[in-house]
């Protein structure tokens, strides 16, 4: 593809095509594999992120819904809908926030705790398999480069 662009449009720098489309394709493959792994535990898209966020907070595994939405990069409306479905599945429960009478706390249930621990173990095994083609130093370099790019976007240094 790059050679064809270089031939047809020698005046342009198509080097970005060597990176961005490959990252997008890699993300597609990773996402498919992760969704397959998540389905084994009855998890819908996005649920792993919510459960992970709650699990990482430590006991009692409870956070305000607004904080949870921020941590998984979701709008408050999107978070409400996701919590509704996860609550129906018995993975989380809502509690009134004693420090904010309009606020809601989201808490991991016993079932949610069990599911996230098993799902994380499965995902860690999956991550190891997905990245086995890379050596330890390559993985470290790849992580550092992606972190650098993400930080640039978050700071607004990379235009979108």
* Residue 3, pLDDT above cutoff 90: no
Q: What percent of the chain has pLDDT over 90?
A: 74
Fold classification of 43-155 is Arc Repressor Mutant, subunit A (1.10.10)
Predicted confidence (pLDDT) per residue in 109-146, tens digit: 999 999 999 999 999 999 999 999 999 999 999 999 99
Amino acid 100: pLDDT: 85
Predicted confidence (pLDDT) per residue in 71-103, tens digit: 998 998 899 999 999 999 999 999 998 888 888
Mean pLDDT of 17-23: 87
What is the chain's percent helix, strand, coil content, to nearest 5? 65, 10, 30
Amino acid 5: pLDDT: 87
Spatial neighbors of 152 by CB under 8 A, at least 6 apart, are: 158
- As a whole number of Å, the CA-based R_g of the chain is 20
For the chain, what is the mean pLDDT? 92
Amino acid 159: pLDDT: 66
């Amino acid at each position: 593809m790059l050679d064809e662009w270089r031939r047809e449009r020698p005046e342009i720098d198509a080097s970005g095509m060597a990176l961005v489309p490959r990252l997008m394709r890699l993300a597609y493959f990773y996402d498919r594999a992760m969704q397959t792994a998540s389905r084994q535990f009855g998890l819908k898209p996005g649920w792993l992120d919510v459960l992970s966020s709650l699990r990482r907070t430590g006991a009692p595994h409870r956070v305000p819904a607004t904080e949870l939405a921020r941590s998984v990069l979701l709008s408050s409306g999107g978070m409400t809908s996701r919590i509704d479905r996860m609550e129906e599945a018995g993975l989380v429960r809502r509690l009134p926030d004693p420090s904010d009478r309009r606020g809601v706390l989201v808490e991991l249930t016993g079932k949610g705790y069990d599911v996230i621990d098993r799902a994380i173990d499965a995902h860690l095994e999956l991550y190891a398999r997905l990245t086995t083609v890379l050596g330890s130093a390559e993985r470290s370099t790849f992580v550092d480069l992606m972190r650098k790019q993400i930080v640039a976007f978050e700071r607004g240094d990379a235009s979108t």
